[in-house]
Amino acid sequence: MESSCRPCWARSPSAGNSWSSNCWISSRCSWNWTPLKNAAVPNSIKPLHSHTDSEGAAMSLPQQVNIVEVGPRDGLQNEARSISVEDKVRLVDDLTNAGLTHIEVGSFVSAKWVPQMAGSAQVFERIKRSDGVIYSALAPNLRGFEDALAAGVREVAVFAAATEGFSRRNLNCSISESLERFAPVMAAARLHGMRVRGYVSCVLGCPYEGSVPPAQVAAVANELHAMGCYEISLGDTIGTGTPGATRALINAVADQIPRGKLAGHFHDTYGQALVNIYASLEEGIQVFDSSTAGLGGCPYAKGASGNVATEDVLYMLQGLGIETGVDLNKVIDAGQRICDVLQRSNGSRVAKARMAQ
């Protein structure tokens, strides 16, 4: 996914603010949170507009959608081929030039466990930042947050799993233990006026526990929101979700968290990513994570494909008349360029079709 699909950097039992700090906040935790000062404000979301379904029933879709581009971080982190800082910088700059306004650039985690993210500080130092664009990074503990802060990062992300099985295998700790690790990150972010985005993985299926009750996802998402995460990204890590399950999930989480603070993060393992995004649009979700060229995957879920391709999401949204402010052709170029570097095929159907013309 997404945020939680990565080799664990907390395998050691040692504690403290080291890379091996063990993990999450108990279900009984209460977190007193006040709005951050001088925090960046996300792009304004336009109101919904109406259309009709095949039976003529009134439906609503947003006039505008925000895309969170996760390719430079979530897309590249599990690639076997070494990627230079120069190529990572070029990718981020290409995506900026394409009009994307939120790009997840890298992770401040142990290079031992996630070697592809070892140069994140250098990438942040060298990218050409554009006004109005959020350049964020994963910072799962206080050490990571401090390194991100030193690199000039102004927004970070933390992640949790919706199931104990995935949490223990991916993070080497329970959900409650993992949440406890975020408390100092949230406190430091508040002190420095930084926003924190939260991820929840395995929201529509777990490789170890199977189906996941929506109420279980809602409980974890609510903990992250209560701690101060301004937005919660709901990740279908293994791509097993369907539109009906997606609707049920959103409604369950929305009973505790406003829909305007939710985002969708879908993988296309079973070819359901776009229909799940469409169902989410109808349920009032207006922010979606995606990865150029469909880069990404999950080493803990056999057969799980990459994130839904940004190009494919943009093509669908444009066809629906929904504004994104992103240049599809420039994203296609950016995706193909990094695929050439990686010597791998492009995972975007739209990109393949356009390039074949």
Phi-psi region of 345 (alpha: psi -120 to 50; beta: other; left: phi over 0): beta
Whole-number Cα distances in Å, 84 to 98, 118, 120, 137, 342: 21, 10, 11, 18, 11
Question: In Å, what is the CA distance from 283 to each residue of 31, 56, 277, 280?
Answer: 28, 17, 10, 5
- What letter does residue 301 receive in the DSSP assignment? S
Contact 194, 205 (CB under 8 A): no
Instruction: Please tell me the distance from the alpha carbon of residue 117 to that of residue 350, in angstroms, as a whole number.
Output: 28
Active site residue 298: yes
Token reading at 207 = 């490789």
**Contacting residues for 163 by C-beta, under 8 A, at least 6 apart:** 175, 202, 206, 208, 209, 212, 216
Locus of tokens 């990150």: 185
- Taken in order 128, 131, 132, 134, is the CA torsion positive or negative? positive
Q: What is the 3 state secondary structure string of 154-204?
A: CEEEEEEECCHHHHHHHHCCCHHHHHHHHHHHHHHHHHCCCEEEEEEECCC
Task: Sort 58 into a burial class: Cβ within 10 Å, 0-12 / 13-18 / 19+.
Answer: exposed
Secondary structure class of 121 (helix, strand, coil): helix
321 three-class SS? coil
Rounded Cα distance between 88 and 112, Å, is 19
- Nearest CA among 88, 157, 81, 74 for reference residue 121: 88
Which of the residues 5, 23, 202, 298 is marked catalytic? 298
Active site residues: 298
